[in-house]
Amino acid sequence: MTVVKSERLPNGATTAMLASEAEEGGDDEPGSSMDSNSNNIFMSQAEAKAIVALTDTHQLIAGEKWFLVDAKWWERFVKQTDTGSSVSSDSVGPIDNSAILVKEIDGSLTLKANMVEKLDYVLVPKEGYIKLKQVFGIFRPEHEMERGIIESGLFKKQMKVEVYPLTLRVALAHRETDAKLIVLSRAQTLADLVERVREALKSEHDKFKLYIHHSAAEDDMYEPIDVEQKGASSSLEDLLYPNQLIVLDQLADDGTGHIPESRINKMNS
């Protein structure tokens, strides 16, 4: 098996195979059917193979959505496409992403760190994923891992599936131990960051400042996020890193906050 980096890159031309493959089956081989004596649902071999081909060749297009599926589940599905004239829901089971997910401090499920495409997970275009979900179902609703396409790269821009969106911890300056999690796309802006932080912390203060808290023992400092200087429309891609702690300091009328001036690193702002 070829090991691929965790961010998917374009690898083929757009195809519209699902509808045409299903139509070729005619009345004798519908896209899916149900066993009248059980809850077992069948997907035609033609439609199953079309989903596999679509996943292998579909071009990355801005605005489209892809879904992460556990590689072992996908392998079981692909294996069944080569046996018989159809694939049954009983033989494959519901989409189960338990092995690639981890529970965060707020109880939400996120993708485990350092997962590798095709080794740990497979990226399936939305068109194919919907068909899979209709027939096989999903083990738990929160196992659904939807991802968007972003344009990335400092010098040469290219489309990629944002497998790992920007997960940040956010807290009020006087209550840093009570941090919340927010998830943003790197393609979003500083204005989006400000809005999401205030929303997560339920802050309605008009006067506030945002900081990145660098809490390493040798450098326990607060780096100001100067939205006006950087520009509200600036992309987050090159400004923030995953798991950073973003602190919102609510200011008094005289402009003073909870963070001492001595701990503010103004050189890096």
Q: What pLDDT score does 137 carry?
A: 95
| Burial tier of 161 (Cβ tally within 10 Å: 0-12, 13-18, 19+) | buried
Q: What is the pLDDT of residue 175?
A: 92
Residues 55-70: tens digit of each pLDDT: 999 999 988 999 999 9
Q: What percent of the chain has pLDDT over 90?
A: 60
pLDDT at 169 over 90: yes
Which is nearest to 195 in space by CA: 246, 244, 161, 266? 246
Lowest mean pLDDT among 5-9, 151-155, 227-231: 5-9
- Report the share of the chain in percent with pLDDT over 70: 83
- Average pLDDT in the 111-122 region? 96
Other CB atoms within 10 Å distance of the CB of residue 139: 16
pLDDT at 9: 46
pLDDT confidence of residue 33? 56
How far apart, in whole angstroms, are the C-alpha atoms of residue 44 and residue 49?
9
pLDDT-based confidence at residue 239 (cuts at 50, 70, 90): confident
State yes or no: pLDDT of 88 exceeds 50.
yes
Query: Mean pLDDT in the chain?
Result: 84
Q: In this predicted structure, what is the pLDDT of residue 14?
A: 38
